[in-house]
Amino acid sequence: MENGTGLAELYPPLNGSDWLMLNKEQLPSVMRYGIEGDLMVNGIKYTIPMSGIPELSAVEISNITNYILSAWTNKLGGMSFEEVQESLSNSDGNK
Amino acid sequence: MRLTIISSILLLSSMFLISCEETKQDKLPYIGQHSYNNGDTILYTIPAFNFINQDSVSVSNASLANHIYVSDFFFTSCPTICPKVKKQMLRLYKKYESDDILRLVSHTLDPKRDTPEVLKKFAGNLKVNTDKWMFLNGDKDEIREMALKYFVAVVEDDEAPGGLDHSGKIVVVDKEGHVRAFAEGTDPDDVTDLMDEIDILIAEYKN
């Protein structure tokens, strides 16, 4: 969403997300492969599976990751391209 | 000189009148391919349908006949435009929450995966009342055929994220089944304009 707030209890926020703060190294992998199973974000349990977008290249994912980490009120630092590739090599961590 | 001033005032005021007339619309147009029979115009109408909702209860055009409704097409696992469209549908839901004349109707394009049970959970997570905002499931081909009637193109495409390419149109249908307005559901400004149009349509019935 435009302001990173997610949507009700369907889609979790990316802005001010405690999950992202603790699991930022997983973000590139989630973007490519999706995520399913229960996801606790800021005290709310999200259960709808979210599909990945496998068409995104590693470079595109790297750019989006670094955008999200510093967008809105997020100050979660940056992620190197090597770290992004490392995350993308792990497709099973999101189930 | 005097004449020029008077005539420019006249010109200005007539321009003002014209622009007032243009912005103050009191009836929405009828959209779609109308047909003609012996000089009579037969307005484009959404054909009869019969789908099931999130509680596996039948919903048809007849059961919506006392309501204006806004329609969209989506699927719960859609990774691209659907969440943005749903956010706009939620704005519409909230704006008209207490006005019983309006209903919201979301059709799943992935009825195999989006069973009534999945749709019910989706609605629950969205925190909406399903008497007002219903989520419809039905035969895949029938729903796709129906999407075309709402001017929504659907193309199965393995290359597209989520496997389906479709447009995010939000379409407004009046009590008689005529299409009266639509917006791109991914564009918040377009949906703001749509709200003004819905207000005009509601006024048509209340006056």
Residue A9 near chain B (CB below 8 Å): yes
CATH classification for the domain delimited by B45-206, as one of 3.30.465.10, 3.40.30.10, 2.40.30.10, 3.40.190.170:
3.40.30.10
Instruction: Number of A to B CB contacts under 8 A, please give it.
Output: 47
Residue A92 near chain B (CB below 8 Å): no
CATH classification for the domain delimited by A18-88, as one of 1.10.760.10, 1.10.420.10, 1.25.10.10, 1.10.10.10:
1.10.760.10
% chain A with pLDDT above 90? 77
ipTM, interface predicted TM-score of the complex: 0.73
Out of B79, B125, B162, closest to residue A8 by CB: B125
Residue A44 near chain B (CB below 8 Å): no
Q: What tokens were used for B41?
A: 């115009």
A50 interaction partners in chain B (CB closer than 8 Å): 77, 79
Out of B77, B125, B126, closest to residue A49 by CB: B77
Residue A53 near chain B (CB below 8 Å): yes
Out of B86, B159, B161, closest to residue A7 by CB: B86
pLDDT tens profile B41-63: 999 999 999 999 999 999 999 99
pLDDT tens profile B120-147: 999 999 999 999 999 999 999 999 999 9
